[in-house]
Amino acid sequence: MTTRILILTFIALIGSQAARADWDPELEAKAAAERAAAQRAEQARQQQAQKTLDAAKAKAEREVMDGKRKALGAAAQGKTDAEVDRLYQAQIRQNQEEAERLSAEARAVLSSGQGAAAVKQITGKTLQELENMSDAEAEALAQELEKKYGQ
């Protein structure tokens, strides 16, 4: 049993010396330095890419905010970006409510009385029939009306 241990120890010793014989500390140091340099270069590239992305986002946000300020006109002067956002959203809601009100009024006019008669005379269909048309039917009707009343 001790002979086996002695033989295994001897083999392990020879194997480790062979492995050490192939090891070059200068080459290993050079390879480690190259890996570190490559890692630093990659980090620098990623940081530059992030800076570019952040700058593009900031520019886009500034352009959006400038557009909102322009749309609000004098109401946006001297206001913070957050206040401009709130004013802009309020204006959007107000415009949407106005559009919905006008649409409801138009629908009421076109679905009763003379408005309904005019729609039926021009299109041959009631407002409800027009609203329930498929896209293909609406396109066909639009082409027909363009031929009939177009230039």
Compute the half-sphere exposure of residue 3: CA atoms within 13 Å on the CB side of its CA: 0
- Give rounded-to-5 percent helix, strand, coil for the chain: 90, 0, 10
- pLDDT (0 to 100) of residue 125: 82
- pLDDT (0 to 100) of residue 112: 79
Q: How far apart are the first and last CA of the chain?
A: 110
- pLDDT (0 to 100) of residue 19: 53
**Rounded to whole angstroms, how far apart are CA atoms 107 and 116?**
9
- pLDDT (0 to 100) of residue 79: 92
**Rounded to whole angstroms, how far apart are CA atoms 26 and 144?**
86
Q: Please give the chain's pLDDT, 151 residues, in tens.
A: 667 776 777 677 665 554 555 678 888 989 999 999 999 999 999 999 999 999 999 999 999 999 999 999 999 999 999 999 999 999 999 999 999 999 888 888 877 788 888 888 888 888 788 888 899 988 988 888 888 877 6
Q: What is the pTM of this model?
A: 0.53
Tokens of 47: 């940081």
